[in-house]
Amino acid sequence: MGIKNTVEYLYLALMLRWEKDAPPDRHQGLLDGEIARNTQIARMAYILKKIAAGQEERAYKLLCLNSRRDDGKSYVSQDFSWMKEPYPLSCGWYFEGCTSLIQKQEILQCLTKLDLSATLVNCIDEFVAGKSIESLLPTEDEAEEILRRSIEAEK
């Protein structure tokens, strides 16, 4: 397993919680006490907001710079005036929801530039696609190793 640390493990746990608690795909229901529709766009925004928390400017700027269209506009931007389906992220940033799954996954691959592991990014790809990530979770032994490495890194 290539999950690097407990923060990445937390992201996995949050995605798994969504998977277990969210309404069926493309249906509306309660999630974390809020009305939500379980869609690719909502799943992508959910995990991007978690990853960006506390580093919004850095995270969203990186995604903005790495998701430019041919016309210079970006799929992650504070300028949502041109977007067909602007979906709010946080701190005034938006994601253009009118994108294909392939486009979403190309944008997500940029998350490795935020020092997230390729393994986690691949899990995020599956999550956004609406596939189960349960089989991708670390085993108990792998989880203990992740915790051990994280503790060592803090010393």
Domains and CATH numbers, the chain: 6-154 (1.20.1380.10)
Q: What is the pLDDT of residues 90-134, one digit of tens each?
A: 999 999 999 999 999 999 999 999 999 999 999 999 999 999 999
pLDDT band at 79 (very low <50, low <70, confident <90, very high): very high
State pTM to two decimals. 0.90
User: How far is it, in rounded angstroms, from Cα 29 to Cα 22?
Assistant: 7
- In whole angstroms, how far apart are CA 140 and each of 69, 132, 143? 42, 19, 5
**What tens digit of pLDDT does each residue of 6-15 get?**
899 999 999 9
Q: What residue spans of the chain are helical by DSSP H?
A: 6-21, 40-52, 56-65, 101-108, 118-129, 140-154
Note whether 73 and 101 are within 8 A (CB).
no
The Cα–Cα gap between 5 and 150 comes to 5
